[in-house]
Amino acid sequence: MDTEQLKRTLQDQRSRRAAKSPASQHGKGASWKTFFALLGVALFSFIVLIGMIYLARPTSSPAQEASPSSLPAAVVLPSAAVTDSVSASARVCTSIPDGRLRVHFKPGNGSEVRGYLAEGEEVQIVLGPGGQIESQSIQGGQWELLSSPVSGWVNADYICETK
């Protein structure tokens, strides 16, 4: 090979290298930038997904109540307790051995459950003006307001021996 031909070959190689674009010359650096950008987008998407799952979680509803048999006799949850009222003593009568009576936040089976009372447990029924039992007729049934041991509404069919 003569020197003239060698010079032309080197010049061709130099011109080919100079013709390459700057992006292709720094391809490795650009791929790292792309990798970290995609990693950031994936992390952000994951955080948004977790937030959506958290916000979409179901709240407790009457259909998702805890099993009455897994709870103690009287479950007392924080509530706006009925205060400064006259009450009458009564007893829970479910007619089921080891039965439980649901105490609701509002009268009616559609209301959330506040707690449970055991068969035979003594309760205090709120008396309204004139000594009448504080009650409401909802969904074809009579509901009475209790002040203790759990403040809330119960189906009157399961309360007996009012004194």
Contact 152, 114 (CB under 8 A): yes
41 assigned to some structural domain: yes
Tens of pLDDT, residue by residue, the chain (163 residues): 688 898 899 999 888 888 775 555 555 556 888 889 999 999 999 999 998 888 887 765 444 444 555 555 544 444 444 445 577 888 888 888 888 888 989 888 888 999 999 888 899 888 877 777 777 788 778 888 988 898 898 888 888 876 5
Q: What is the pLDDT of residue 63?
A: 44
HSE-up of residue 74 (Cα within 13 Å, Cβ side)? 14
61 assigned to some structural domain: no
**What's the number of domains the chain is made of?**
2
Rounded Cα distance between 54 and 100, Å, is: 32
Same domain, 148 and 84: yes
Within 20-117, where are the H helices? 22-25, 27-56
CA dihedral defined by 36, 41, 43, 44, rounded to 10 degrees? 140
What are the pLDDT digits (tens) for 80-99? 444 455 778 888 888 888 88
CATH number (domain holding residue 117): 2.30.30.40
Same domain, 78 and 48: no
Same domain, 52 and 130: no
Distance of CA 117 to the CA centre of its chain: 25
Q: What is the pLDDT of residue 62?
A: 44
Same domain, 146 and 105: yes
| Domain residue limits at 42 | 3-56
Same domain, 73 and 138: yes
Same domain, 92 and 139: yes
The predicted model scores a pTM of 0.48
62 assigned to some structural domain: no
What are the pLDDT digits (tens) for 27-42? 555 688 888 999 999 9
Same domain, 51 and 86: no
Rounded Cα distance between 72 and 5, Å, is: 99
Same domain, 20 and 95: no
Spell 146-163 as b/e; 16+ CB within 10 A means b. bbebbbbbbbbebbeeee
Contact 102, 113 (CB under 8 A): yes
